[in-house]
Amino acid sequence: MDSEPERRPVVASYCATFLKPEMLHIYRQITGLDRVRPVVIAQKRENPDRFPFEPVYLMPKPATHFLRRFWFRQLLDQPWEISHLEVEALTAILNKSGAQLLHIYFGHIAVHLLPLIHSWPHPSLVSFHGADVLVDMDKPAYRRATQRMFAAVRKILVRSDSLGRAIVQLGADPSKIEIMRTGIPLGEFVFRGRPVPENGQWQLVQACRLIEKKGLRTTLRAFSAFAHAYPRATLQILGEGPLLGELRELAATLGLTDRVLFRGLVSQDELRETFYRSHLFLHPSETGGDGNQEGVPNSMLEAMASGLPVFATVHGGIPEAIKEGVSGVMVAEGDDKALSQALLDAVKSPDLLAKMAKAGAETVSQNFEQASQVKRLEEIYLETIRA
């Protein structure tokens, strides 16, 4: 007789790289599943010690991938699609795994898989996370391909209402869209109140990829003004990314070399401990030059759950997690002066900081708790399989 796990419906998750360090939220989502049995399909696997999971079916890029990509992008000026042979190989993997549903992570990846979505007899769904919504949508061929993908998939998952509205504006059927919020494991980010530091030794932190939409230039400029008033204050920036050199230079130009610590990528344990040692969390997100936007930043939610007061911007899905002046503070994108003033005002009101921290943690508990979000995802999966 089959064991209980084998009777659960199989859901295949396609993630081109399983997994990059910043994709912890995807790992939490997949490994949290209980009512369905997850399998993963990827082109390559990274960080297996950090993200242990089985089974992972690898289908590397074919030798002709770069030629095919060049043909589509440079000569046809449209997004490339997988070949007939790749469709056959992926279909064989799906059949071997017994999958009844295919979940494709990231919208721009789903566009490449259109031939598979059309030919595979079972339903597919796609999830959008922020960076994959508006990039290249100024190109008519890319927009049309994305609209074909919207029509082909059964469901479209988005991490915030703001992303959902953007998807509808691109041509998606609103009835297909489901809000699937980030899940935060509250047991790992237990709320702790923060005492007011002695002698103005405020410790500020931002944790993110070092890329344009994270607003790190705004962070450094705002901290510069804050540090002028509180010379013992420090800022830690956790994460890696292409802007590291530029940000180091900006910190030096602002006279902050000894006050800003770029720590690179840290473990989850180190991240938590840094949060608990810190007093204020910054995340002044902004729209990138290529249209890249946030959903609801994972690190911001983790910081809120841990009891850190958050200072962010009116951007993307952030207002869906923060009520201004109640569960955090938001200023306009790119406004370092407003951000620094908000910080300076807040530290003069320790009671207000404590109230915001408590309200922020309650917001995460009510709306972003991992178990409840995974349960919702399972319900979407099962409903889609049964339809």
pLDDT band at 93 (very low <50, low <70, confident <90, very high): very high
Taking the C-alpha atoms of residue 50 and residue 239, their distance in angstroms, rounded to an integer, is: 16
Q: How many CB atoms lie within 10 A of CB 64?
A: 12
Q: How many CB atoms lie within 10 A of CB 299?
A: 22
pLDDT band at 1 (very low <50, low <70, confident <90, very high): very low
Q: What is the mean pLDDT of residues 336-349?
A: 97
Please check whether the two domains, 4-183+369-386 and 198-367, share a CATH topology. Answer: yes
Top CATH class, 198-367: alpha beta
Taking the C-alpha atoms of residue 186 and residue 306, their distance in angstroms, rounded to an integer, is: 8
Taking the C-alpha atoms of residue 124 and residue 87, their distance in angstroms, rounded to an integer, is: 14
pLDDT band at 65 (very low <50, low <70, confident <90, very high): low
Taking the C-alpha atoms of residue 263 and residue 270, their distance in angstroms, rounded to an integer, is: 10
In angstroms, the first-to-last Cα distance of the chain is: 27
Say whether pLDDT at 283 is over 60: yes
Q: What is the mean pLDDT of residues 199-213?
A: 96
Q: What is the mean pLDDT of residues 113-136?
A: 86
pLDDT band at 2 (very low <50, low <70, confident <90, very high): very low
Burial class (CB in 10 A: 0-12, 13-18, 19+), 125: buried
- Minimal CA–CA distance to 33: which of 297, 381, 384? 381
The whole-number pLDDT of residue 71 equals: 62
Q: What is the mean pLDDT of residues 176-191?
A: 95
pLDDT band at 284 (very low <50, low <70, confident <90, very high): very high
The whole-number pLDDT of residue 264 equals: 96
Per-residue pLDDT tens over the stretch 254-274: 999 999 999 999 999 999 999
Q: Which fold has domain 4-183+369-386?
A: Rossmann fold (3.40.50)
Segments making up each domain of the chain, as ranges? 4-183+369-386, 198-367
Taking the C-alpha atoms of residue 78 and residue 151, their distance in angstroms, rounded to an integer, is: 18
- Minimal CA–CA distance to 296: which of 282, 311, 315, 310? 315
Q: What element of type H or E holds 157?
A: strand 155-158
Per-residue pLDDT tens over the stretch 68-80: 666 666 555 677 7
pLDDT band at 132 (very low <50, low <70, confident <90, very high): low
Taking the C-alpha atoms of residue 268 and residue 281, their distance in angstroms, rounded to an integer, is: 16
Report residue 117 CA to chain centroid gap. 24
